[in-house]
């Protein structure tokens, strides 16, 4: 295997938003960065210094080949940033079980399989960082995002279990819990909610929620750079935090979920989403 002096990072979901900002920031910090995503044309926009890695987190062979390529090029993997994911919205009654499975495949199982593939190398090195991008929605659940929240709750639990399992091998696990971030995520979530539940028994509430999503993500959401900075800290600090709660709304809402009675939180969620 080739000798490699610079630390090596894989960033999934690197074609836009948080992933793109993270890939660029780690590259500036001296990492050899592999930006992974499904679309090669979007990866080309990342610019020089970031190596494109075409990868579909729902495709086993794609994951195996991607990790194999990074190891063949460098002989090591120091950081995995699990950022690939999307928000599937709509009422639990109306979201198809096929779509629910896809949400979990992308947001949970794809990332979990990638973790399995990089861990043997990290254990042999005696070092590594696994940084999983969850959400403030991994700490509480709002209406019409049941399957999205289920995926993020699962990611939180897996990350907590993993952290204890790998600590003796010199591997740290951090969870990133962004609030509203100015990316494509808000529009995609709003569109999926309207497509699934924009008509029918939940229509009025879903339309209000979608309108609020678009307004918030366009006007008051935080920059992806806020999240990228937290990920850089998790990748480089001597003692990375277990959780990074960052971005618009994240700290007050996760605090509210922790201290408010469930019924009060339910009312607050319903009002906040129109």
Find tokens 């900002």 and name the residue.
Answer: 21
Q: Which of 34, 89, 148, 202 is catalytic?
A: 148
Q: What are phi and psi of 3, to 5 degrees?
A: -70, 140
Find tokens 């906040």 and name the residue.
Answer: 272
Q: Are 8 and 31 in contact (CB under 8 A)?
A: yes
Rounded CA-CA distance 260/274 in Å is: 20
Look up 148 and say whether it is catalytic.
yes
Rounded CA-CA distance 27/197 in Å is: 41
Q: Are strands 50-54 and 79-82 parallel, antiparallel or unpaired?
A: unpaired
Query: CA-CA-CA-CA torsion for 178, 182, 184, 187, nearest 10 degrees?
Result: 100
Give the count of beta carbons closer than 10 Å to the beta carbon of residue 10. 26
User: What are the distances in angstroms from CA 66 to CA 47, 72, 104, 152, 188?
Assistant: 20, 10, 21, 24, 27
| Contacts of residue 2, Cβ cutoff 8 Å, sequence gap at least 6 | 73, 74, 75
- DSSP-derived letter for residue 222 is B
Task: Give me the residues paired with residue 115 across strands.
Answer: none
Radius of gyration of the chain (CA): 19
Rounded CA-CA distance 9/121 in Å is: 13
Rounded CA-CA distance 151/157 in Å is: 10
Tokens of 252: 């007050």
Active site residues: 148
């Amino acid at each position: 295997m080739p000798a490699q002096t610079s630390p090596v990072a894989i960033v999934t979901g690197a074609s836009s938003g948080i992933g793109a900002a993270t890939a660029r920031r780690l590259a500036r910090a001296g990492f050899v960065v592999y930006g992974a995503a499904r679309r090669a044309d979007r990866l080309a926009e990342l610019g020089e210094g970031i190596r494109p890695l075409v990868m579909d987190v729902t495709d086993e062979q794609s994951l195996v080949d991607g990790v194999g390529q990074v190891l063949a090029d460098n002989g090591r993997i120091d950081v995995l940033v699990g950022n690939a994911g999307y928000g599937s919205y709509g009422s639990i009654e109306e979201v198809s079980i096929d779509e629910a499975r896809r949400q979990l495949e992308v947001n949970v199982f794809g990332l979990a399989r990638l973790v399995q593939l990089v861990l043997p190398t990290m254990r042999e090195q005696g070092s590594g960082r696994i940084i999983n991008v969850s959400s403030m929605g991994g700490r509480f659940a709002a209406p019409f995002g049941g399957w999205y929240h289920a995926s993020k709750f699962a990611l939180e639990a897996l990350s907590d279990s993993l952290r204890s399992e790998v600590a003796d091998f010199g591997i740290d696990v951090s969870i990133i819990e962004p609030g509203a971030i100015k990316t494509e995520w808000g529009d995609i979530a709003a569109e999926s909610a309207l497509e699934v539940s924009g008509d029918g028994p939940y229509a009025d509430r879903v339309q209000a929620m979608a309108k609020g999503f678009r307004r918030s993500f366009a006007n008051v959401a935080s920059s992806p750079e806020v999240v990228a900075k937290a990920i850089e800290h998790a990748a480089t600090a001597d003692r990375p935090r277990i959780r990074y709660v960052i971005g618009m709304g994240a700290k007050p809402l996760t605090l509210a979920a922790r201290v408010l009675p469930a019924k009060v939180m339910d009312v607050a969620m319903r009002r906040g989403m129109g």
